[in-house]
Amino acid sequence: MSSSRLPDVGTTIFTIMSQLAIEHGAINLGQGFPDFLPDAGLIDRVEAAMRAGHDQYAPMPGVPALRQAIAAKYQAHYGRSYDPDAHITITSGATQALMCAVFACTAPGDEVIVLEPVYDSYLPSIRLAGAVAVPVAMRKPTLEDPRYRPDWDAVRAAITPRTAAIMINFPHNPTGAILLEEDLDALESLVADSRITLISDEVYEHMVFDGEPHRSLATRPALAERAFVISSFGKALHATGWKIGWCCAPARLTAELRKIHQFMVFSVSTPMQHGIAAFVADPAVHDELPGFYQARRDHLAQGLAATRLRALPCPGTFFMLADYSDVSQLPQQEFVRWLTTEHGVTTIPVSAFMVVPERVEPRIVRLCFAKQTQTLDDAFGRLRAL
């Protein structure tokens, strides 16, 4: 066997902790999946699509009805007109779209700036494309501003003649940070008069709280014209295992992405696409999601207040960070194993999202609140014993 393309990559911490949770009967607040069913109407539509004979290969770019529904959503939510045929591609979840985007806009030796903490799939995609990841740390919470924030001055300082792309993820996993208008202003300034392509992972777009909107890159023409805007139905429809995502991009970028997509998977599940298209034909179908998840966020924060874990602010996503400094001085990797095996609650160490070890905050873990209220309550019962 020749040498590995990813020699330092093993089983992800998400898989490891989920398996440990099963082995110890722990409540899994680690991996980001809901423990409740999708809408019954959605399941009915997928079943109807199967019975209608939509069982063979879908068109490579995706089922036209689904691409049309996505175009209508972007027009309704973000005021952006994407052509369903030239600008929208259906993918096998957002992860595949992200990898295709990286391959489509980089060449060996190019640099891709990523914001740290960084979701774990980004770095292998960049490496497999022959490019080099350049991690830029986000600003950490302070007394004046208890949120994580992108540090655009640091991003600007990291740009070199070899910078081909900037890869961002907002709402941000794992910190929950969201983009403000001033962030879009800064990003526009950064990439003006450059060759830099933007890869924007927006899978938590419908999970933004406290009355704030999601500020998609699609809302700014100067950004959208150089951006792969990527999202997924897995999070929004509570069906992460269906793996149906998409990428919106201008025609020149879409053409390059589809060259990769057609040989990576060619097309994705046909009946799922037809069923989802029928379910999301009305762009208002997602309007209740912010309130739905904000209620769960608030329930988690209230429950943690009765424990020795300290919840950090969560403006978006369905994850919350918590500081365990009052519970233990163990390093993160050891703490999450101890919490699972000894107290029956599984979380994820934020260190799993870090590239530069020196930047790891000592005692922070990530919890998922895409759970039934009873699941969260059961976890609180165990966490109060810490």
pLDDT score of 13: 86
pTM above 0.85, yes or no: yes
pLDDT score of 228: 99
Which architecture, in CATH terms, is 13-31+288-383? Answer: Alpha-Beta Complex (3.90)
User: Hey, do 13-31+288-383 and 54-285 end up sharing a CATH topology, with the first three levels equal?
Assistant: no
Enumerate the domain spans of the chain.
Answer: 13-31+288-383, 54-285
199 bridge partner residues: 167, 228
Domain 54-285 has CATH 3.40.640.10: yes
182-185-191 Cα angle (round to 5):
140
Q: Which residues contact 107 (CB under 8 A, 6 or more apart)?
A: 130, 131, 164
pLDDT score of 172: 98
Average the pLDDT over 297-310 and give the result: 98
Q: Give the pLDDT confidence of 242-256 residue by residue, as tens digits.
A: 999 999 999 999 999
Whole-number Å distance between alpha carbons of 282 and 69: 8
Q: Which of 91, 57, 40 is nearest to 271 (CA)?
A: 57
List the beta strands (DSSP E) in 153-283: 163-169, 197-201, 227-232, 245-248
Average the pLDDT over 180-188 and give the result: 98
Predicted confidence band of residue 313 (pLDDT cuts 50, 70, 90)? very high
Q: What is the token pair recorded at 375? A: 């699941």
Share of the chain above pLDDT 90, in %: 90
Q: What b/e string do you get for 92-113 counting C-beta neighbours within 10 Å, with b at 16 or more? A: bbbbbbbbbbbbbbbeeebbbb
Q: Give the pLDDT confidence of 344-379 residue by residue, as tens digits.
A: 999 999 999 999 877 888 899 999 999 999 999 999
pLDDT score of 203: 98
What is the rounded radius of gyration, in angstroms, for the C-alpha atoms of the chain?
A: 20
pLDDT score of 146: 82
Average the pLDDT over 8-33 and give the result: 91
Residue 27 to residues 9, 37, 379, Cα–Cα distance (Å): 27, 17, 6
Q: What is the token pair recorded at 139? A: 């600003």
Predicted confidence band of residue 3 (pLDDT cuts 50, 70, 90)? confident
Average the pLDDT over 185-198 and give the result: 97
Q: Which of 333, 329, 326 is nearest to 383 (CA)?
A: 326
Q: Which of 12-16, 95-99, 142-146, 257-261 has the lowest mean pLDDT?
A: 142-146
Q: Give the pLDDT confidence of 74-116 residue by residue, as tens digits.
A: 999 999 999 999 999 999 999 999 999 999 999 999 999 999 9
Mean pLDDT of the chain: 96
